[in-house]
């Protein structure tokens, strides 16, 4: 099966969309990564700008900008050096989460990050799946009250929260012949959350929902369409929480295999969806490898009605063996999703 690369024999239109219809903001990219005491640049800003100019990308949001001196380094080399082209978000100081007084320390770090230029807060799936109490090794809940001052601080500073919670449902199931992500989990066995002390996907989603409910003045952008496999649940959440938004990063494989439901979802929530890709360096996850090919697939998915094409630039579909169909969104919706919704959230002029 690993070598099986079936070619579609369908005679259907194949569009090539080299540039997006409108200039866009990529709300979800990883140009830097926080490491001990600083940030590491995994992509070269000059190389980013070359791709951005070719693809019609006005701005990239580097969500993993760390905090403290690392954040200041990222802001200087991206946001300050190239005004309007890059935006940098801060991250919580997870290593301090079990310290006494963390709740206040973290709120103060948010104020410091805001002063340093950070325009938002990124919360990795670390919260809910990896962050544990130092003493007991128990997983820390997403809705743990120690984070309340942080959620309030970003809300009052008008910094949106980009939050990734949980993962595809198949990652919580046995890696067996019924698992539709068998090959993906086979390639990344450490992505499985089955059979240990992890909460269920729904429990993680509901814990995040408690946070969104408790902090109505804070704007939460739930990354990866919040829970892309369950659009009825995401719709119910969006209906109950006006401070909730979603991005589409690394989930066109999910949206594009349910194109009629997705099209209705974009129609209904056109003011709440932002464009993002999860673009990163490296090639082990082709569905998010930064470059021209990645963006062209997103543009084809959003702008055309092409049918049955690959959702990632890879010889074998990396998330599961299916293909996607385009949504053919209207110009009005494209403008909002590509740029206006994100610009409003970040507080930059559209």
Q: Which residues of the chain form contacts with Zn ion (CB under 5 A)?
A: 278
Q: Least distance to Zn ion from the beta carbon of 28, Å?
A: 6
Which CB, 154 or 163, lies closer to Zn ion? 163
Q: Least distance to Zn ion from the beta carbon of 99, Å?
A: 26
Task: Give CB contacts under 8 A, 24+ apart, made by 130-133.
Answer: 131/94, 131/97, 133/98
Which CB, 62 or 278, lies closer to Zn ion? 278
CA distances from residue 119 to 72, 86, 226, 248 in whole angstroms, order as listed:
12, 11, 21, 20
Which CB, 105 or 285, lies closer to Zn ion? 285
Which CB, 26 or 278, lies closer to Zn ion? 278
* DSSP for 246-273, written as a single string: EE-TT-HHHHTTSHHHHHHHHHHTTTSE
Q: Least distance to Zn ion from the beta carbon of 34, Å?
A: 13
Q: Least distance to Zn ion from the beta carbon of 146, Å?
A: 24
Which CB, 256 or 276, lies closer to Zn ion? 276
Q: Is 92 exposed, middle or buried (0-12, 13-18, 19+ CB in 10 A)?
A: buried
Rounded-to-integer distance, Cα 311 and Cα 320, Å: 10
**Residue 271 has which token pair?**
């003011």
Q: Least distance to Zn ion from the beta carbon of 223, Å?
A: 6
Which CB, 159 or 163, lies closer to Zn ion? 163
Beta bridge mates, 60: 26, 86
Q: Least distance to Zn ion from the beta carbon of 190, Å?
A: 17
Q: Least distance to Zn ion from the beta carbon of 276, Å?
A: 8
Nearest Cα to 142, choosing from 241, 213, 245, 247?
A: 213
Which CB, 162 or 170, lies closer to Zn ion? 162
Q: Where are the beta strands (DSSP E) in 8-166?
A: 24-29, 32-35, 38-41, 57-62, 86-88, 121-123, 161-163
- Tell me the residue nearest to Zn ion as measured from the CB: 278
């Amino acid at each position: 099966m690993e070598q099986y690369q079936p070619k579609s024999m369908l005679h259907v239109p194949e569009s090539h969309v080299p540039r997006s219809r409108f200039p866009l903001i990529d709300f979800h990219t990883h140009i830097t990564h926080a490491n001990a005491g600083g940030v590491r640049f995994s992509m070269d800003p000059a190389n980013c700008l070359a791709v951005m100019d070719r693809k019609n990308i006005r701005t990239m949001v580097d969500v993993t900008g760390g905090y403290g001196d690392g954040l200041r380094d990222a802001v200087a080399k991206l946001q300050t050096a190239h005004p309007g082209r890059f935006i940098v978000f801060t991250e919580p100081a997870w290593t301090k989460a079990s310290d006494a007084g963390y709740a206040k320390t973290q709120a103060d770090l948010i104020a410091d990050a805001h002063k340093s230029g950070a325009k938002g807060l990124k919360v990795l799936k670390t919260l809910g799946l990896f962050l544990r109490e130092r003493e007991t090794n128990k997983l820390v809940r997403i809705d743990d009250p120690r984070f309340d001052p942080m959620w309030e601080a970003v809300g009052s500073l008008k910094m949106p929260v980009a939050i990734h919670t949980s993962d595809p449902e198949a990652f919580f199931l046995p890696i067996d012949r019924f698992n539709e992500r068998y090959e993906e989990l086979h390639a990344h066995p450490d992505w499985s959350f089955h059979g240990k002390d992890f909460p269920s996907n729904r429990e993680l989603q509901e814990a995040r929902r408690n946070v969104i409910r408790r902090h109505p003045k804070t704007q939460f952008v739930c990354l990866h369409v919040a829970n892309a496999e369950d659009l009825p649940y995401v719709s119910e959440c969006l209906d109950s929480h006006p401070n909730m938004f979603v991005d589409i990063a690394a989930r066109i494989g999910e949206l594009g295999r349910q194109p009629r439901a997705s099209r209705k979802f974009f129609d209904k929530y056109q003011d709440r969806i932002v464009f993002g890709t999860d673009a990163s360096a490296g090639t082990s996850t082709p569905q998010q490898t930064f470059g021209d090919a990645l963006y062209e697939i997103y543009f084809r998915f959003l702008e055309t009605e092409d049918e049955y094409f690959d959702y990632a630039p890879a010889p074998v579909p990396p998330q599961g063996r299916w293909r996607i169909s385009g949504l053919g969104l209207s110009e009005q919706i494209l403008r909002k999703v590509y740029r206006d919704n994100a610009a409003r959230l970040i507080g930059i002029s559209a």
